[in-house]
A and B are shown apart, each in its own frame.
Chain A
Amino acid sequence: MTTRSDRGLRRKIFSHSMVVLSGLAIVAVMLPLFWIIYECVVLGGSHLTLNYFTQGTPPPCSPISCEAGGGLTMIQGSFIVVALATLYAVPIGIAAAIFAVEYGGGGALGALSRALSMAADVLSGVPSIVIGVFVYVLILYYDHGIVFSVTSGSLALGAIMLPIVMRTTEEALRTVPHSVREAALALGMTRWKISLRIVLISALPGVLTGILLAIARAVGEAAPLLLLDNTTLPRFLGFNYPAQSLSLGIYLWADSPYKNLQNLAWETALVLLIFVLVLSLTSRLALNRLSRKWKA
């Protein structure tokens, strides 16, 4: 009798200490992260005005001219290159994930789908600079006129986003239990309708996490753009020309000796974080309302 309640007590104490430990973990996780955000806010927020959204990139500060400028050129360029990359990456990633889950099972198709998951994992480990080099080599081979262009930049960013979207979608699809599919099949729904309208929709929160993570990663990624989409052009001229981007601005100017460019870089870091936060919040909100309606 005593031993049983002792064991019970020990289990309870152990459980409580694990809860405390996990609480400590969340604190340890948040601490450096808040620190970094604080850094961005302090360095970027001190000079940030609405001019950031209306002015383009200024020339370096000198006795001739010392404008604060703004991030409009970079916002334009980043928007286009990331939007293009998302257009490539999300459909391919979701399609590949559906393939892996719906047709994975046994036999050749099953082996292919497992290989596909592994391929996506390996791709996610490729350094972004290597992806940039790969796209550089590829485009050089086909049309060396557009090596520096929004097109090649978006190809590289898309390749970075693709494994994130694919794997998170795959895992989200796998969390949908058999019973839902079985029920729909019993009601006579066609396979593809089940996959899209029931399984995918049920898994939408996870899919969304993946897409958001991928967009966040792409918009902050500078290394491939350094090689492929790095320019002083003052505005978007077309998909065959390069364009400035937010991540490159941060990369190139965060420690620039020219104060106006350095301020611009940190303001950009802050704006980028705010943008991702807003994107993330609004899509979660929209998703929650959608889910509530779909799941009466």
Chain B
Amino acid sequence: MTRGNPFPPRSSRQILRAPKWGDRIFFALTMLGALGLAGIIIAMVVALVHGATPAFDQIPFTSFLFGRIWDPGGCVNGTSTCVYGALPFIAGTLITSTIALLLAIPLSLGAAIFLTQHAPMWMREPVAQVVQLLAAVPSVVYGFWGLIVLVPIMRYDVNPVLAHDLGWTGLFGGPTNIGLTVLTASLVLSIMTVPTITAISRDAMEAVPRSQKEAAISLGATPWEVTRRSVLPYSRSGIVAGIVLGLGRALGETMAVTMTIGNRNAIPLSLLSQGQTIPSLIANDFFEAITPLEIPALMEMALFLLIITLAINLGARLILARLQLGRGAATE
């Protein structure tokens, strides 16, 4: 697995002193691209921080992070003070994304392995096209399908079984007469994430040189062992990239979640309760915000989501680096 150029320059001075002006211009152009990407992210963080500043100033941080009640309208209709607690939404986001990924990763990897290693040749391209097509299905269509098709199935067929048989785990408590639950939303999210992970993993696995696989076969490996010992390690970086992009979609998904999760601004105590995620809350509350602090509080939550995403990404990269270090010379 290559990691870049065999002769990378050691510094930008080295590049700029290169004899060919073509190389210098190329460097400048790619640097522009890199700066463009960096610039967008920095601009976004700055805009969010700027927007969230009133919330930082006026809402105590611990009551925001650990607050369980979200009532931005209480002070307007005179019933109570306006309270801005983000904990239910942080919890909801983490729970739905985790379950979505736990379901999506094995499925996607299995599908990608099948597509690249075991499927008959006539099947590979059409099936790959269909999987890629699914990335184009708009979120609202997934949400619709979830609401019309999946929710009744969950309510009448799946939830009672889960509550009855797996209730001892403590994960499936609570009333089961509503199909709009954290579990349903997680299922829809996992279905939405699969195309991304499958498409990118498939490309990564396709790029494995035949020599690698042939070497393993010649040593007597079974097909699974070829996959496990030659294909997967070689394509690991690409697979992780696919997973991370898929996770990005899961964390940031708005519409499909809004239509299936039940939109209850409370910490879900069971997988069968209703909940709420940060993006869904923002989509619900942003357009009709009535108090001056509501939008800043939403932006503060968006910043939290950014931090969570950053933390997960760092974690994934650390794991990847550990795996590669452990393998030593096995990687190219």
Contacts and interface: CB of A to CB of B under 8 A. Distances in A.
Interface string A97-108: 111111111111
Interface string B1-41: 11111111111100100101011011101111110111011
Contact of A33 (B29, B191, B244): B191
B48 interface: yes
Given A22-B118, A26-B114, A95 B2 contact: no
User: Interface residues of B: mostly helix, strand, loop or mixed?
Assistant: helix
A116 B194 CA distance: 25
A110 B224 contact: no
B171 interface: no
B133 interface: yes
Among A123, A130, A134, the most chain B Cβ lie within 10 Å of the Cβ of A130
Given A98-B30, A191-B23, A212-B132, A130 B5 contact: no
A211 B176 CA distance: 43
Contacts of B137: 33, 36-37, 40, 220, 269, 273
Interface in B244-282: 244-245, 247-249, 251-255, 278-279, 282
Interface in A112-126: 112-116, 118-126
Interface string A154-166: 0000010011101
A128 B6 contact: no
B142 A127 contact: no
Given A26-B114, A30-B127, A220-B137, A175 B2 contact: yes
A33 B131 contact: yes
B136 A128 contact: no
A172 interface: yes
Q: How large is the interface on A (under 10, 10 to 19, 20 to 34, 35 or more residues)?
A: 35 or more
B294 to A, nearest CB: 13
B293 interface: no
Shortest Cβ-Cβ A-B pairs, 8 listed: A95-B33, A25-B110, A105-B8, A216-B136, A15-B222, A127-B279, A124-B248, A192-B26
Interface of A: 11-12, 14-15, 18-19, 21-26, 28-30, 32-37, 39-40, 91-110, 112-116, 118-131, 133-134, 137-138, 159, 162-164, 166-168, 170-172, 174-178, 181-182, 185, 190-193, 195-196, 205-206, 209, 212-213, 216-217, 219-223, 226-227, 247, 250-251, 254-255, 269, 272-273, 276-277, 280-281, 284
Interface of B: 1-12, 15, 18, 20, 22-23, 25-27, 29-34, 36-38, 40-41, 43-44, 47-48, 50-51, 106-111, 113-115, 117-119, 125, 127, 129-142, 144-145, 148-149, 191, 194-196, 198-200, 203-204, 206-207, 209, 222-225, 227, 237-238, 241, 244-245, 247-249, 251-255, 278-279, 282-283, 286-287, 299, 302, 305-306, 309-310, 313-314, 317, 332
6 contacts: A33-B131, A33-B191, A95-B30, A119-B38, A134-B43, A272-B138
